[in-house]
A and B are shown apart, each in its own frame.
Chain A
Amino acid sequence: MHPAFSVIFLTTLIGAGQGLFLALFTGQIFSQFNLMPEQHNSNFYVIGSLIALVLMTLGLFSSFFHLGHPERAWRSAAKWRTSWLSREVIALPATMAGIFAYGLAHYMGWTSPIFTMPGGTAVDATLLTGLLATILTYTLFVCTGMIYGCIKFLQEWHSPLTVINFILLGTASGFTLVTTLSAYMKTDLTSFYASWAIFFTVLALIFRLASLRRNKRIKPISDLRSAIGVNHKNIRQMAQGSMGGSFNTREYFHGKKASFVKSMKVIFLIFAFIIPLVLLGASLGTPSAYIIPLIAIVIQFMGLIAERWYFFADANHPQNMYYQQIS
């Protein structure tokens, strides 16, 4: 497929925003349930939520460049019963609203317990909104992943690994980002976040490698024989019905050499995983130096853009069989 930058930025930016929120809430849960020193700096959550919202807004903004008629975008919420894209269109603002409510609850200091759980844990508005936003965040991840995962003849995408990778890559970048924020704001959570960021980056790497391995072994289900219905092993296209290319030659091809695609793979493996892991490891030891995780997130994000580019370029659409030869 042709990697469109609007979609690349949409998916990576909202992924990082969602991951950032999940990281914030994980931190809150750990301290609320007394698994960690209490975190009293509510500014941290407010600013964190704000950054998450900014990232997601930017993602949303970039998605409009993908549309032929952005002014009609509101119509796309109509078919949520059948279309994952429509579901994403609903889930994205809903998640943003959830995260906004979460940030607001922290900002307003709505921390007086609404009720107390049997174990003695006080449940307040921040916890409830956080829980709601978490559910929405995962819903959004699933919707985004399923847009690609549900098309069965795009065999490279038609796998649970697609959704898993969207979740893990977004979460990893979100935790790296929150590590930076935490180091910058000098909270006590930096090492905690850095270790979680390492955990998710490693997990994401494992699953991304699994999908690379899977996609390498894919045997195309369709070939030219079924595409034109002639049972012969040796079929060669002579003409595709256009001289200067068409929508079909632009939308479904990455248009780059195989060597370029391959180098993108190496680049994203190094940038999205290896370098951030080294830097995050370094910031474990020096939790106050925010510049280290800052470099880590910048590099990781560049890596994720390359990853998403590769994700699209890697998918081979069966219609390409009809467009092999311009003449």
Chain B
Amino acid sequence: MTQLALVIDLNVCVGCHACVTSCKEWNTSGEAGPMVDKNAYGENPTGTFFNRVQSFEIGTYPQTETVHFPKSCLHCEEPPCVPVCPTGASYKREEDGIVLVDYDKCIGCKYCSWACPYGARELDEQQRVMKKCTLCVDRIYDENLPEDERKPACVMSCPTSARMFGDIHNENSDVSIAIREDAGYQLMPEWGTKPSNHYLPRRKIKIKIHKDELERVDNPLSKEERKRHNAPGKGPSLDDMTTW
């Protein structure tokens, strides 16, 4: 069984919104589009997005840090949004685990959006159907694209490579290795939705240095050592300095 998913590295994401804009650009002009934009140049611009980058401040000043947090549909393995859909417009694909909405069947009742704890679904105000991330299903299988471009638009655009794409059911895929080795986690695991998308936590690279590592105790070139050695008759032999 394949389960395609994104793995997002919060340690790398700089909050530049490149994934947001390239997602919108690809999808508004693709099969999932158009994605409405209202008052794009007005006071309260609003519209449909599949992916949003949010920012959180952790801690209390001055001990704070900012976490940029991209959020889109997590393509849950147990998606609560699917069984509630009365029309069957929302479904999870057997072959690759992508959760999709059939825009021709959706009646826009919004019930699925109530049943997603992550707020990943947005009703398009123009088409009046439910929309959400498709994992660029119209891209990743497109044989007209060069093979290394058969990835979601967000993954392609991320300038820091904070986004990875792959099959989390394949233990040897890049995403599985990243999840396993870099402490990948799921959002709100308490609801049993088993999100497929994973996040990699912030990790600080720290090295432990002990004092004796900073200052060499037996440094023959230190002032004290040299004084001692330079005393008459006590000068260093070549063996004290080098080995060969």
Contacts and interface: CB of A to CB of B under 8 A. Distances in A.
Interface of A: 1, 66-70, 72-73, 75-79, 82-86, 89, 147, 150-154, 221-222, 224, 226-230, 232, 234-248, 251-252, 317-320, 322-323
B119 A248 contact: yes
B145 interface: no
Contacts of B82: 82
Nearest to A319: B119
Contacts of B116: 319
B123 A247 contact: yes
Interface stretch (B54-62, B150-158, B173-181, B217-225): B54-62
Main SS at interface, chain B: loop
Interface in B54-101: 54-60, 66-67, 69, 71, 80, 82-89
A322 B118 contact: yes
A244 B117 contact: no
A248 to B, nearest CB: 5
22 contacts: A68-B107, A68-B127, A68-B128, A69-B106, A70-B107, A73-B107, A75-B88, A75-B107, A76-B109, A83-B85, A85-B84, A151-B84, A151-B114, A153-B191, A221-B190, A228-B187, A232-B58, A236-B56, A241-B52, A242-B46, A244-B39, A246-B46
A68 to B, nearest CB: 2
B231 to A, nearest CB: 59
A86 to B, nearest CB: 4
Contacts of B165: none
A229 B185 contact: yes
Interface in B124-167: 125, 127-129
Contacts of B49: 241-242, 246
Q: How large is the interface on B (under 10, 10 to 19, 20 to 34, 35 or more residues)?
A: 35 or more
A230 B84 contact: no
B114 A77 contact: no
B8 to A, nearest CB: 11
Contacts of A150: 84
B115 interface: yes
A17 to B, nearest CB: 21
Nearest to A84: B84
Q: Which of A83, A227, A244, A317 has the most CB of B within 10 A?
A: A83
Contacts of A318: 117-118, 188, 191
Nearest to A76: B86
A227 B190 CA distance: 10
Contacts of B47: 246
Nearest to B121: A247
A319 B118 contact: yes
Nearest to A154: B114
A150 to B, nearest CB: 8
B108 interface: yes
A150 B202 CA distance: 35
A234 B119 contact: no
Going nearest first, the 9 A-B pairs with the smallest beta carbon separation are A68-B108, A319-B119, A68-B128, A241-B52, A244-B44, A86-B86, A82-B83, A76-B86, A247-B122
Contacts of A147: 111
B229 interface: no
Contacts of B53: 239, 241
A227 B189 CA distance: 9
Contact of A222 (B20, B67, B106, B190): B190
A145 to B, nearest CB: 15
